[in-house]
Amino acid sequence: MNREYSDFQSLFNEKLRERGLTVKRLSELSNIATEHLENLSTGNFERMPPAPYIRGYLARLAPILGFDADSWWEELAREHTLRGSGASDELPKNRFARQSRAKFLIGGAVVILAAAYVALRFAYIFGEPEILITDPAQNPAYTRSAETVIRGNLSNADVLSVNGESVEVREGGGWEKAVTLQSGPNSFEIEAKKFLGREKRLTRQIFYEPIPQTTTTPLAPAN
């Protein structure tokens, strides 16, 4: 051990200054709580965790600050009364491994569930919207009424519009849209969209032919 430093806190604080580190930044680099680092800085070992944890902290700090962890651990063990955590004065080897394994298992389960959900909903998520026009059934259609209703069924889509006007879709997919016709051909664009961007369009033409109005010629009076 380098005897340039009389105690560990002197070494600790000097190494921080040399590297331009703050306790907060060192906490981020070492994943050690700032409270424990501050206790190391002041030599307040009475408020530190049991000895195995202190030894583990030294092992994490050594490559960052540049000191011999084993030598300084032996020095601390001689000079300070450190609390033990059990019969063996070693950091439990499997504690972090168990945590990592648990995180891995949880992450794997989440991935599997997400994959299963996507597989079950693949057609809905990635499939194309489906529009079925039930009335009028023919295309083009012909009518003598100026008012008519376009009806149909929608599946695998989130929104529906007719000529740019939003149409409410009932539970089960049924929908209808009342329209007013002009004499002659009338074109209607039915568009279905999904939130993920897929869309589908259908065009229907309805020809409106008004009923001819007949005129009655008055009869000439009899002579």
As a whole number, mean pLDDT of residues 165-181 equals 89
Confidence of residue 178 (pLDDT cuts 50, 70, 90): very high
155-164 confidence digits (pLDDT tens): 888 888 999 8
Instruction: Please state the domain extents for the chain.
Output: 8-79, 128-208
What mean pLDDT do residues 184-207 have? Answer: 85
Residue 180 has a pLDDT of 92
Name the CATH architecture for the domain at 128-208.
Answer: Sandwich (2.60)
CA 183 to CA 81: how far, in whole Å? 101
Identify the DSSP state of 58.
Answer: H
Contact 179, 189 (CB under 8 A): no
> What pLDDT, on the 0 to 100 scale, is given for residue 92?
43
Q: How crowded is the C-beta side of 147, counted as CA atoms within 13 Å?
A: 1
Q: Residues 8-79: name the CATH superfamily.
A: lambda repressor-like DNA-binding domains (1.10.260.40)
Lowest mean pLDDT among 77-81, 99-103, 128-132, 205-209: 99-103
Summarised one tens digit per residue, pLDDT across range 69-123 is 898 888 888 877 677 655 444 444 444 445 556 666 787 777 787 666 555 555 5
